Structure 1
Amino acid sequence: MALRRPGGGELVIAVVGLVLAVVLGSLGTTKVLAVPAMRAAAAHARLGVNAYRLIGCAEVMAAVGLVAGRWWSPAGAAAAVGTVLLMVGAVSVHLSNRDSAARLVPAIGTAALAVGYLVLLPAATS
């Protein structure tokens, strides 16, 4: 597949991709670094710190894929699909922990943005 250069008609997909990349990159980095708040979140999720670090690595890789997707759409598509799968896992963990609805909102919102990115991608690349 050929590399493509983003044009002015791709503003919405660029903004959605950038928002997702910033969210995933920042949260993923804090998980990889195992900052105290993420250690507590891992314990709440009944996951080990190393498992949480792996989730963080996947989030950082998704952020990189979304940025690369500006020039090569298959990378953005793969990153968005991976993000949806990560968020399905997050929702599943929250539900199994019987967390409040407020704890589900970030994962559901992130998944919705990733689905929106996937829906908009074909129009932005044609």
Structure 2
Amino acid sequence: MEKTVFVSYVVLAVLVSLLLVFSGRGMLVGDKNIVETMERVGVPRRSYTVLALLKFAGALGLLAGIFYRPLGIAAAVGLVLYFLGAVVAHLRADDLKGAPSPFVLAVVSAIPLVLGLATA
């Protein structure tokens, strides 16, 4: 059973990391859809680099967690908090249409957290 949980962690860590890198890259290059969403929520452009770097750090932490589980757990906690913060930002901006995406990403980020804890 533990091997299955570990393999699940690895697969999800890789998939979530790819998603984070793709999203962070979009922030850095000013992808039209990402910029529109960020402007709608009221995120200043000067924050895009910091937010993208946080995504990259989360991706790196999840991948490092394959070899050193505490780092993966810490990264997953940070990602869950990051995306819950995004949900709050959408709700504060009355952007109910945009809130489900970061909520789903918070849940998806919580899965490696649970799997990491199960295999720690």
**Fold similarity call, TM over 0.5:** yes
Name the SS for the 1:98 alignment partner: coil
Question: Which residue in the other structure is 1:110 paired with?
Answer: 105
Percent of pairs identical after alignment? 25
1:20 to 16, 20, 37: 16
Instruction: Indicate the SS of the match to 1:103.
Output: coil
CA–CA separation in structure 1 for the residues paired with 2:92 and 2:10: 34
Aligned positions, number = 118
CA RMSD across the alignment: 1.8
For structure 2, the residue ranges without an aligned partner over 5 or more in a row are: none
Question: Where do residues 1-126 of structure 1 align in structure 2 (5 Å cutoff)?
Answer: 8-9=3-4, 10-100=6-96, 102-125=97-120
Q: Where do 5+ consecutive residues of structure 1 fail to align?
A: 1-6
- Give the 3-state SS of the residue equivalent to 1:99 in structure 2: coil
Structure ranking higher on relative contact order (CA contacts 8 Å, 6+ apart):
2
Letter in 2 for 1:113: V
Please state how far the C-alpha of 1:42 moved relative to its aligned partner: 2.3
- Structure 1 residue 57 displacement after superposition: 1.0
How far apart are the structure 1 equivalents of 2:33 and 2:12?
26
